[in-house]
């Protein structure tokens, strides 16, 4: 086939422009991104080859090469991983096929600093090559295909790329960066090595470079074609904690999570017992924009005795912890474990339960810490992922109470939308004689806060949780009590506040009931079938009337949610 010129998707064009401007001050990360991709490509090959040995083409030693050419002013990154066919090149490099992409771009501000963070959230990877290159040539052949099925992709990052079929004998991908004017400092053995050690030391495969030229005994430069490994090339998670610096943990996180920012925190442990495994689990600082996307791509990587098995094994953590990133390396699972086996494996169930415990424990230690930095971290975590964690109350029966203890809510105590009140805080402020945790659910915070159902409680100084996240209906539907205190909607049933009233108040109410008897009957007759019952209420102090549902009924808010979901 002849050479074809195709246009980038509009979003890709925008992204390229933005990247070049906002990430320039940190430009050397392009190498980290390309090496990260090369490593992923090798992992993918290893996984596919588990079921089809032939894909190795008699070359099972996976590795990454980095080279430079001073005269041509190019850098080359080469791997013998899975490679790509023509469709894959077009799909992976040239389009961003992820839901939410449009919304994402509409959030960009043009302020380089702010946008750099957003870009991190998006995970741009390959395109970072254009920060330093004014032309990128990618040549690739997918494992298992014949040599003349190679593909060459080339672009100046200006909106178009060309694609053609070429001959490529060795499998995998080679990326050549033609450096921009002024980027010559990258054409240095020393410089490249130091970037690799800084950002890619944790890559499990060897990253090879030509041996640096030495001097013979007469002082002449002695160049050598021999290659040597530049990185540690050992699995970071298999090393002992005391030998790993925070920087190393951070860089490893960026690779597994495809994130540009450091993680919020992590848990690294070797677990022994019936199942032996190592887990290194991270909590990101920021929710990815596809957190609610069912097709979302990254999660936990599963290894068996250091061999990569699969990415994104949904079975390894429950849905409500889907924001966690990292690796689990099992000592016991068989190497040929498949997704199907994982689905029904008791061993996996155990590993999963152990990891859930670890993550919840990690969150708990932040949430209950006396240290202000930890408290701030927890607040940040809650802001980003609280709504997802709350799903766990309905999803994970065994850990329901633990999760409930981690939840934070808005309440009438501060009367602001900030979700900062724990159920334990609430219980600590309960009035003498109060035996229920009162809440109200509504569509928005303002609707909850201004609800007439709160009037009497406000007057008596009784705190009410103000719940306005969609997931909250599910939370209160699944969590009936906390530490022996019942959760009670203030919009349901007869709200008995008599305990908080003095004799005079009670007397006044009894009189009112007698006095209003006729009116109540009239209203009941007028409304007829539309209502179950009309009664005198003491929950109001300003408003004349309000609607309530029976204790056993669906709340008005839930009814609205279900209606809007078409149910
Ligand atoms: P991400 O790594 O987060 O998926 P990138 O922009 O870094 O995003 O890469 C986009 C996609 O291009 C990858 O998901 C992969 O499918 C493909 N790709 C990039 N580099 C390589 C490579 N060296 N070998 C095979 N596929 C690659
Ligand atoms: Mg990448």
Q: Ligand 1 centroid to 269 CA: how many Å?
A: 30
* pLDDT tens column, 245-280: 999 999 999 999 888 889 999 999 999 988 999 999
Q: Ligand 2 centroid to 121 CA: how many Å?
A: 13
Cα–Cα distance between 94 and 305 in angstroms, integer?
36
To test the pocket of ligand 1, the residue of 92, 124, 155, 203 to mutate (highest count of ligand atoms within 8 Å of its CB) is 92
Q: Does residue 110 or residue 374 have the better pLDDT? A: 374
Name, in order, each residue with C-beta under 8 angstroms of 273's C-beta and a sequence gap of 6 or more: none
Nearest bound ligand to CA 83?
1
Q: Which atom of ligand 1 is nearest to the CA of 123?
A: 3
The pLDDT assigned to 31 comes to: 96
Q: First CA to last CA across the chain, in angstroms?
A: 52
Q: Ligand 1 centroid to 289 CA: how many Å?
A: 19
Q: Does residue 402 or residue 218 have the better pLDDT? A: 402
Contact (Cβ atoms closer than 8 angstroms) between residue 185 and residue 30: no
Cα–Cα distance between 277 and 345 in angstroms, integer?
15
For residues 372-383, average pLDDT = 96
120 pLDDT above the threshold of 70? no
Q: Interface pTM (ipTM) of the complex?
A: 0.99
Q: Ligand 1 centroid to 94 CA: how many Å?
A: 11
172 pLDDT above the threshold of 80? yes
Q: Ligand 2 centroid to 388 CA: how many Å?
A: 25
387 pLDDT above the threshold of 90? yes
User: CA of 3: how far to CAs of 126, 140, 162, 444, 471, in Å?
Assistant: 22, 15, 7, 55, 52
The pLDDT assigned to 520 comes to: 77
The answer to which of 97-101, 207-211, 222-226, 350-354 has the lowest mean pLDDT is 97-101
Q: Does residue 73 or residue 299 have the better pLDDT? A: 73
Q: Ligand 1 centroid to 508 CA: how many Å?
A: 73
In the DSSP assignment, the letter for residue 398 is G
Q: Does residue 473 or residue 564 have the better pLDDT? A: 473
The answer to which of 257-271, 485-499, 537-551 has the lowest mean pLDDT is 537-551
Q: Ligand 1 centroid to 41 CA: how many Å?
A: 8
To test the pocket of ligand 1, the residue of 126, 296, 312 to mutate (highest count of ligand atoms within 8 Å of its CB) is 126
369 pLDDT above the threshold of 80? yes
For residues 530-553, average pLDDT = 72
Q: What is the CA 505 to chain-centroid distance, rounded? A: 53
The pLDDT assigned to 213 comes to: 77
Nearest protein Cα to ligand 1, atom 4: 125
Q: Ligand 1 centroid to 189 CA: how many Å?
A: 25
In the DSSP assignment, the letter for residue 409 is B
How would residue 297 be classed by pLDDT, with cut points 50, 70 and 90?
low
To test the pocket of ligand 1, the residue of 34, 37, 39, 254 to mutate (highest count of ligand atoms within 8 Å of its CB) is 37
Residue at token pair 């109350």: 393
The pLDDT assigned to 1 comes to: 65
Q: Does residue 166 or residue 309 have the better pLDDT? A: 166
The pLDDT assigned to 123 comes to: 63
Nearest protein Cα to ligand 1, atom 15: 92
Q: Ligand 2 centroid to 14 CA: how many Å?
A: 18
Mean pLDDT computed over every residue of the chain: 88
Cα–Cα distance between 332 and 329 in angstroms, integer?
9
Nearest protein Cα to ligand 1, atom 23: 38
The share of the chain scoring above pLDDT 70, in percent, equals 92
430 pLDDT above the threshold of 70? yes
Residues with CB under 6 A from ligand 1: 33, 37-38, 41, 79, 81-84, 92-93, 123-126, 173, 258
Q: What is the 3-state secondary structure (H, E, C) of 379-390?
A: HHHHHHHHHHHH
Cα–Cα distance between 196 and 35 in angstroms, integer?
9
The pLDDT assigned to 56 comes to: 95
How would residue 391 be classed by pLDDT, with cut points 50, 70 and 90?
very high
Could you give the angle at the alpha carbon of 147 between the alpha carbons of 144 and 151, nearest 5°?
95
121 pLDDT above the threshold of 70? no
* pLDDT tens column, 82-118: 999 999 999 888 776 566 667 777 777 767 667 766 6
In terms of average pLDDT, the best of 270-274, 305-309, 415-419 is 415-419
433: left (phi over 0), alpha (psi -120 to 50) or beta: left
The answer to which of 204-213, 389-398, 408-417, 527-536 has the lowest mean pLDDT is 527-536
How would residue 227 be classed by pLDDT, with cut points 50, 70 and 90?
very high
Q: Which atom of ligand 1 is nearest to the CA of 258?
A: 3
Cα–Cα distance between 534 and 551 in angstroms, integer?
15
To test the pocket of ligand 1, the residue of 88, 96, 125, 258 to mutate (highest count of ligand atoms within 8 Å of its CB) is 125
Contact (Cβ atoms closer than 8 angstroms) between residue 306 and residue 235: yes
For residues 116-122, average pLDDT = 66
Q: Which atom of ligand 1 is nearest to the CA of 79?
A: 23
The answer to which of 18-22, 492-496, 512-516 has the lowest mean pLDDT is 492-496
In terms of average pLDDT, the best of 109-118, 428-437, 524-533 is 428-437
DSSP 205-224: S-EEEEPPPEE-TTS-EE--
């Amino acid at each position: 086939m002849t050479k074809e010129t195709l246009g980038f998707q509009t979003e890709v064009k925008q992204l390229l422009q933005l990247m070049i401007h906002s990430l320039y001050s940190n430009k050397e990360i392009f190498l980290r991104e390309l090496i990260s991709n090369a490593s992923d490509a090798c992992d993918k090959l290893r996984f596919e080859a588990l079921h089809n040995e032939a894909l190795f083409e008699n070359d099972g030693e996976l590795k990454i090469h980095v080279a430079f050419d001073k005269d041509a002013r190019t850098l080359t990154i080469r791997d013998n991983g899975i490679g790509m066919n023509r469709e894959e090149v077009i799909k992976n490099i040239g389009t961003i096929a992820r839901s939410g992409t449009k919304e994402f771009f509409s959030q960009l501000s043009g302020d380089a600093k702010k946008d750099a963070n957003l870009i991190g959230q998006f995970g741009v990877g390959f395109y970072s090559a254009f920060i330093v290159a004014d032309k990128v040539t990618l040549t690739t052949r997918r494992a298992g295909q014949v040599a003349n099925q190679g593909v060459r992709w080339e672009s100046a990052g200006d909106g178009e790329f060309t694609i053609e079929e070429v001959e490529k004998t060795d499998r995998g991908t080679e990326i050549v960066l033609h450096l921009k004017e002024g980027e010559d400092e990258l054409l240095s053995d020393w410089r490249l090595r130091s970037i690799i050690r800084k950002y890619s030391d944790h890559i499990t495969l060897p990253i090879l470079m030509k041996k640096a030229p030495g001097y013979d005994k007469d002082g002449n430069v002695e160049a050598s074609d021999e290659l040597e490994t530049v990185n540690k090339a050992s699995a970071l998670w298999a090393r002992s904690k005391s030998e790993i610096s925070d920087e190393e943990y951070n860089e490893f996180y960026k690779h597994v999570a495809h994130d540009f920012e450091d993680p919020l925190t992590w848990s690294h442990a070797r677990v022994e017992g019936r199942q032996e495994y190592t887990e290194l689990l991270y909590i990101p600082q920021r929710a990815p924009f596809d957190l609610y996307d069912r097709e979302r791509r990254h999660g936990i990587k599963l290894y068996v005795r250091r061999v990569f098995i699969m990415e994104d094994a949904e079975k390894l953590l429950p849905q409500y912890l889907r924001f966690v990133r990292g690796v689990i390396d099992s000592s016991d699972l068989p190497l040929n474990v498949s997704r199907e086996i994982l689905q029904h494996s008791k061993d996996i169930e155990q590993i999963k339960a152990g990891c859930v415990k670890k993550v919840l424990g990690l969150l708990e230690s932040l949430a209950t810490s006396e240290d202000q930095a930890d408290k701030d971290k927890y607040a940040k975590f809650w802001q980003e992922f609280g709504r997802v964690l709350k799903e766990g109350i309905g999803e994970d029966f065994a850990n329901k109470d633990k999760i409930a203890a981690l939840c934070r809510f808005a309440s009438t105590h501060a009367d602001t939308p900030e979700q900062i009140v724990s159920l334990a805080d609430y219980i600590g402020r309960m009035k003498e004689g109060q035996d229920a945790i009162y809440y109200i659910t509504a569509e928005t915070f303002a609707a909850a806060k201004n609800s007439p159902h709160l009037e009497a409680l406000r007057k008596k100084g009784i705190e009410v949780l103000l719940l306005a996240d969609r997931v909250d209906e599910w939370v209160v539907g699944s969590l009936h009590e906390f530490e022996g205190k019942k959760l009670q909607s203030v919009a349901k049933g007869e709200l008995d506040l008599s305990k908080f009233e003095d004799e005079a108040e009670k007397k006044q109410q009894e009189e009112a009931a007698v006095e209003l008897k006729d009116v109540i009957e009239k209203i009941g007759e007028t409304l007829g079938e539309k209502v179950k019952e009309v009664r005198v209420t003491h929950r109001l102090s300003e408003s004349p009337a309000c609607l309530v549902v029976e204790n056993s009924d669906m709340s008005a808010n839930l009814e609205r949610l279900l209606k809007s979901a078409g149910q």
